[in-house]
Amino acid sequence: MYRIVSLLVTILRLYSWVMVVYCFMSWIPPLRDSRVGAIITDLCEPVLTPIRRKLSRWMSYSMFDFSPMVVFLLIQVLTTLLYWLI
């Protein structure tokens, strides 16, 4: 059980780093057009899109995209819950 939880926590941490790279890529548009940028976008968009839809009800006039912050928060909650299971 410990190994499975440890693997899941590691995957969540790696995914959070992928999200950080995705956020930095939004500041430099040519990076999104690269091959690595396309892979990172393909990894992040399926998670961010539903959250953006939910947030659009409350943040429709905002200039900022808060969906990555929500994903980071969810990752932290999941990591804490997984550690609590051990």
Overall average pLDDT of the 70-84 stretch: 94
pLDDT at residue 76 in the model = 96
Reading the block at residue 45, the tokens are 């968009």
> What is the reported pLDDT for 2?
87
For 23, the domain range is 2-56+65-85
In whole angstroms, give the CA distance from residue 74 to residue 34: 28
In percent, the amount of the chain with pLDDT more than 70 equals 100
Q: Each residue of 16-45: pLDDT tens digit?
A: 999 999 999 988 988 888 999 999 999 999
Q: How many CB atoms lie within 10 A of CB 25?
A: 19
Domain count, the chain: 1
pLDDT category of residue 60 using cuts at 50, 70 and 90? confident
- What 5-13 contacts at long range (C-beta under 8 Å, 24+ apart), as own/partner pairs, is 5/82, 5/83, 5/85, 5/86, 8/82, 9/79, 9/82, 9/83, 12/75, 12/78, 12/79, 12/82, 13/75, 13/79
